[in-house]
Amino acid sequence: MYGKAAVLKNLLIFGTASFLIFMVGCKNAPTDPGAIEATTNTQAMLKLAESDSAVSSFQPNYDEEGAMGVLTSDLGLNIYPIKVGQKLRLVSKNFTYTTSGDTAYGKYTQTFEGVLFIAASSSPDSSRRDTVIQKPFTSVVTRNIIFVRTGNTNLPVMNWKIVAVSLPQGGTAISNVNISQVTVFLASGDTLIVNNPNDYYMYRENEGHKNKYKWWKDIPEINEGSPVTIQVKVNSAYADTDFVTLTHGADFRGYHREKMKFNLISSAPSANGYTKIYQQTFTTEHSEGYFHAVINAYSKQEINDNTSPVEISSWGVPYYVKW
């Protein structure tokens, strides 16, 4: 009997410890709104925004650490790139909002310090890296978020909920390669056409809002392992093929990140240079949850010339992978 009692006691202690570890782990999870204090509406809304998976999944895919894209040998000018990737560090964030009745309209701005890494060879016929060129840059990403009031307690974070989020848009202050439209073709047959990311809203809470805001869209729910085709329209000042990439698949820890290069489909002269269409197809992840497809557009010369500054245009599209 004593032996059984000791076993039960040890199981109870182990179970209690495991429960406490679980609770601590949940408390410190990046998506838990209780991880920090919020004493004002601004702090509460920022906290809710940063805790929302459809919002927070952008940054792990914007930062390309561990997902350097392989280039082809036809891109050699002054240097011969082998791999290219950007490393980003969030250096500041700002949140402002205005209210109309029980609705709050927020603007969430993130400023990143970035470094574009170019692993290059001195020979067009070599796949062996001779040097790594580092080009620093600053990128500012904006997103709009709509909240509705749910209460009037002493805890601001309990008084609001997110009902819609816009798509993120960012890049350097000066860029001669700019994304102007993104079209997403889903395996279901649905198509998303985005012309202005910050004005393209997706639902987070559907009840009572779908009839009122008919221009809002559902966040795409896509089966695991499904193909998704993306077409990107770019307004470029350059005749050369731009370097347009897709990064996707990273979870909130940055794991499973993948990067691909878009293929040029068409190019036509325009008033300010060239209008180009790029296309790529990726396969959704085999993990359930929210992800982001992040599109980055650079000029060819900044990738192939070690003196050209970084000029980047970036858009993101959130989606949910379901089993």
pLDDT at 40: 95
Low-confidence ranges of the chain (pLDDT < 70): 1-36, 66-79, 122-127, 129, 206-212
* Tens digits of residue pLDDT in 98-119: 999 999 999 999 999 999 998 8
Place of tokens 């202005």: 196
pLDDT at 89: 94
Neighbours of 9 (CB within 10 A): 10
CA distance 289 to 287: 6
pLDDT at 303: 87
pLDDT at 4: 40
* Tens digits of residue pLDDT in 289-305: 999 999 999 999 888 88
DSSP string computed for 139-207 = EEEEEEEEEEE----S-GGGSEEEEEEEPPEEE-SS-SEEEEEEEEE-TTS-EEEES-GGG-EEES--T
pLDDT at 69: 53
Nearest alpha carbon to residue 243 among 294, 303, 183, 286: 303
Taken in order of first residue, the domains within the chain and their CATH numbers are: 31-322 (2.60.40.10)
Neighbours of 321 (CB within 10 A): 20
